[in-house]
Structure 1
């Protein structure tokens, strides 16, 4: 662990808490530009897979956590000022959310081109799961989620059952979608109440694949 800490300290975090990261495939192709903070670099070093800091979502995410297009890190280089990193990776699938191999797939002035974007549906659930977790650990006045946790197991389970019934009796397509969204939310609350993460459920489903 001390060796890991020493590696992380080599980056000049005093200049900026977030540093740019150029990501290059093992064949020399530049794939993308991302960002890391100390925690993202630590997770990358610990797991061997690229983790980045999302400035828009303000959280750490593993590259490919939703799409499966992970980046296995082969080497990490640091620039002369110690405030930028270069990751040499083995890219699984594509690197760009547009479905292109690299984020740098067009010349300046060329029109946008998508070849089939990545489905980030699971990201929405992960973000919702994180909000629910925060409301459980740090209750907020006026928060419906915090109110559910305060009222306890009976209320949480009852609401989940009610939402399940709402899905079953819904007839119109739009209504089914609406009620299913409610059901998923209350399912995440139920899981959080029991200290179960969505990732554990996904792991169980993955294990059932033949």
Structure 2
């Protein structure tokens, strides 16, 4: 699918400033898997620490997947989980450094960086992760996964859908339920996507002046 054809909304104001969380979707709406892959591809343009891209996705878009999703979320999240077109679990990958050389070698092969720059990266950033303790790797992957999650929310709206981010689930069950290594993958967020079946509450934000200090 051509991404430019599937994008319905390319306005910064509409996509970001008018995004709202929807908790009830039209259950008969199906998002093609190739479009779901486009959403994820667009989301992964997100920045990440040292370009490590420490994220992983589990997409539940059929009855089997949705039943698994239903089994791990809290009851107050059943409305969006059960009616959405797809719910995507975003996990941090604490071992993404195992693929790190592939990315930078490809960049070097394509002439984006010099071999010297590639080797500099391998000698500075890579050892931080190869020898990092679990606490460091978990925190780093959760930052990356959080950033890609926000981009996924915006990508969904750009494609003409609405979404709902949620963390109300049994975190300990996520990886095992989807056949993943729970030592490697850390659940960060789930995002329900679809066509809204309700008008969401018009929420307000705190005054930014109360949240900000200039140092």
**TM norm structure 2:** 0.26
Q: From the two aligned structures, give the one with the greater strand fraction.
A: 1
Q: From the two aligned structures, give the one with the greater helix fraction.
A: 2
Find the structure with the greater CA-based Rg: 1
Work out which structure has the larger RCO, using CA pairs closer than 8 Å and 6 or more positions apart in sequence: 2
**TM norm structure 1:** 0.27
